[in-house]
Structure 1
Amino acid sequence: MAQLLKVHGSENQFFILDQTQLNNQLSDDELKRLAIKICTPENEILNGADGLLVVNDSQFTDCLGQMRVINADGSEAKMCGNGLRTVSRYLSEKFSKSSFKIETFETNLEVKKSVDFYTNVPAFSVEISPISFAKDDLPFEYKNKLELVDEEIPEFIKGQKFTAIAVPNPHLISFVDEIYEDDLGDLGKALNTPNPYFAEGVNVSFCEILDNNKLFVQTYERGVGFTNACGTGMSATSLAFALLNGDYFNPDEDITVYNPGGMVKTNVQLSAHKEDSKIHLIGNATFTHELRINENDLHSSKLDNIEISETGEEDDYQEFVSSINEA
C-alpha cells in the first residue's frame, strides 16, 4: 500500500506523495492525472486541494530531497512556499533533521524547524529565492518597460499601482486601502487566460497595510484561482512592502502577514541591489489526514478505494486561528 498525506500551510491545501517509498515511481503524465483527480473537490476526496507535492530523491548530496509542485490543473509550479513548509516538516521527521536543504525546480533552498506557532501547531522557516524583477524572468510585456515597480497600469485597474516580482513564481502585487474580491478575481482571471501582458500567467495579490510590519494579503493563484494563502505571494508582497513603504517597515522585526487561511511571518533583509535581498517565510506545517491506497490504483488514478484517517491536528490549528482573531 502507498501512503499520501493531506496537509496545509495557512489552509493552502495539498496532498504529499513520497515517490521514494513506491516500488515504481509515477510518470509525469501519471502525476498530472493524479493531481487533477485528487485535487478536484467534486471527486470528494477530502474536499480536494490546491496541488500535489511530490517528494523525490535529490540529485544534490547536500539536499535531503526534491520537491515538485503539481497544481490542481495539472500544471507544474516552480515553487510553493506554503507547500515547502509542509514538505520540510515531512523530511525533518523522516530523517530526524531540524535544518537542511531541499531541491526545488529552480534552486536549492535552506529550511529549518521554528518555534511552534501554537500548541501542536508545528512551524517551519523556509528560504524564498531567487528574486528577480526582470521582465524576462516573469515574463511580462508592458510599454517596453524592463521592470514594473509601483507602476500605474490603467489597463488593469484605474488608480492602482502594481509591482511585478518573480520569487521564482511570477507575482503581481498591488497595495490597496481595501481588497475588493471582484476586482482581484477579474484581474486574476484576465491575466491567467491568453493576454498581451503576462504570456505565462501570473499570481495576483492585493495587500492592505494594517500597521507597522503588519499586512493582510489575498491572492488569485495561477493554476488554482482564489486560495486561502499563497506562500510565495506573501513573500513577494513582503519584499514589495519593505521596498515601497519604508514608513511602515521595521527591518529589525519579522513582518506579520494575515491571510484568509490564518497567519504567517516573513523576514525581509533588503539589499542595495534589490534582487540580492533575503526573504524567509515562517508558518505552520499541518498534517490533517493520512491516506493509504493500492500502488497500482495510484498509477491509474483510481481513487475509489482509499483508507483515510484523521491526525487531529486541524483542531489545534483552528484553535490557533481563533486565538489570532481574538487578539
Structure 2
Amino acid sequence: MKFTKMHALGNDFLIVNGVQQHFEPNRDWIREVGDRHRGIGFDQLLHIKSSDESIADFALEIFNSDGELAKQCGNGTLCMARFVHEERLTSKHSIAFKTLGGLVEATLLKAEIEGGMKVKAELGVPTIDPSGVPFVSETTNLDYELNLGLASTPKIRLIPVGMGNPHAVLFKTSACADNLELIANALQTHQRFPDSVNVEFAEILDRSRIQIRVFERGAGETMACGTGACAAVAAARLAGHVDRSVSVNQAGGTALVDWEGPNHPISLTAPASRVFDGEIQLD
C-alpha cells in the first residue's frame, strides 16, 4: 500500500489515498505502524475517500495512533488539502471534507511559511454547550471546577470546548509545569468527559499571543494540535483574555487562529509539509 508522511507544525500524519487504492482500516495494524520505534510513527492516520455527499469533495477518516477513530483533526485537514491537490485528486483550491465531527473546508494559500505550504481551514463553530463537547453538566457555564483526586493538584478549573471533538482548556501561569501529563491523564479518564478529552494548557502572553501544550486523547502530548489551538483561542476569547486574531505558539511552531466570537466559525492557518512517500505491506 502506498502512503505519504506529512506534518503541520510537527503534528505528523500517515496519509492513505483511499480514492485510488483499497484500504480497510484495522486497529491493531494502525497501532503497529503508528509505533515510533517499531513502525513508521505518527500522531494520526488520515484515510481519504470519495464522498457520497454533494456538500463534500471527500470523506476523511481519522485514526489516532492507538487505532481509535477520531472525529476531527485541524492540522490533518491542512495536510490533506495539500495532499489531494498535489495528487491531482481535485483541481480546487478550496476543498470540503466530511468528517465524523462535521464538514470542514480548507483553502490553499500557496505561500510558503516555515518550510510548508500555507493552508487555511475553517473548522466550524466552537461550542461550550456541554452536550456539544460532550461534558456532563446540568448547567451551561463558561468554566467549571473539577475534583481530580490528585495529591499534587486536587482541584482544577477548566473550560470545556466542542470543536467537533472534545477539548478541556486550562489557563496557567507557566507552560512548563511538571505535572501536566498527570493532570491530562486524570481528565481523559474523568467521568464528566464520557468520550475522553483533548487537554490544552494555555498561557496568555498578550491579547494577540498565547502559548499552549496539548495532550491528545489516544496520542499523548503532540508537537501541535489544530483543533486544540482553536479551542484554546475560543476559551481565551470567551474569558476576555484575547482579541479576534491570535498567534498560538506550540512546541512545533506557530499557528494563526481567527475567531469573531460566538455563533461564528473559527479558522486555523498554518504550514502543511510533505515529508516523504513510501509503500508498506498490509499483512
TM-score (norm 2): 0.91
Where does structure 2 lack aligned partners over 5 or more consecutive residues? none
Instruction: Please say if 1:255 is aligned against 2:251.
Output: no
Which digits, 9 at most, give the CA deviation of each residue in 1:248-279, with x for residues without a partner? Answer: x333xx31111011111111111xxx3x1220
After superposing on structure 2, the runs of 4+ consecutive aligned residues of structure 1 that deviate more than 6 Å are: none
**In structure 1, how many angstroms separate the alpha carbons of the residues matched to 2:28 and 2:74?**
23
In 2, Cα distance between equivalents of 1:256 and 1:115: 20
The aligned counterpart of 1:168 is 164
Distance 1:71 1:132 in 2: 23
What does 1:46-85 correspond to in 2, within 5 Å?
A: 48-85=41-78
Q: Secondary structure at the match of 2:37?
A: helix
Pairing of 1:184-263 with structure 2 (within 5 A) = 184-193=180-189, 195-246=190-241, 249-251=242-244, 254-263=245-254
Establish whether residue 113 from structure 1 lines up as the match of residue 103 from structure 2: no
Q: Contact 2:102 / 2:164 at 8 angstroms: preserved in 1? A: no
Q: Kindly provide the amino acid, as one letter, of the partner of residue 53 in structure 1.
A: L
5+ unaligned residues in a row in structure 1: which ranges?
A: 301-327
Inter-partner Cα distance in structure 1 for 2:111 and 2:147: 43
Cα distance change of structure 1 residues 134 and 85 upon mapping to structure 2, 3 Å threshold: same
Structure-1 separation of matches of 2:55 and 2:148: 46
After superposition, where does 1:26-45 map in structure 2 within 5 Å? 26-28=23-25, 30=26, 32-45=27-40
RMSD: 2.0
Do the aligned residues in 2 keep the contact of 1:160 with 1:176 (CA within 8 Å)?
A: no
Paired residues of 1:62 and 1:101 also in contact (CA < 8 A): yes
Query: Distance between the aligned counterparts of 1:187 and 1:117, measured in 2?
Result: 37
2:257 maps to which residue?
A: 266
What secondary structure is seen at the aligned counterpart in 2 of 1:215? strand
With the length of structure 1 as denominator, give the TM-score of the two structures. Answer: 0.79
Change (3 A) 1:160 1:277: farther
Counterpart residue type for residue 288 of structure 1: V
Structure 1 pair 250/134, CA: closer, same or farther in 2 (3 Å)? closer
Residue equivalent to 1:7 = 6
Higher helix share: 1
Which SS does the other structure have where 2:173 is aligned? coil
Q: Give the strand-richer structure, 1 or 2.
A: 2
Match of 1:16 in 2: 15
Structure having the higher Rg: 1
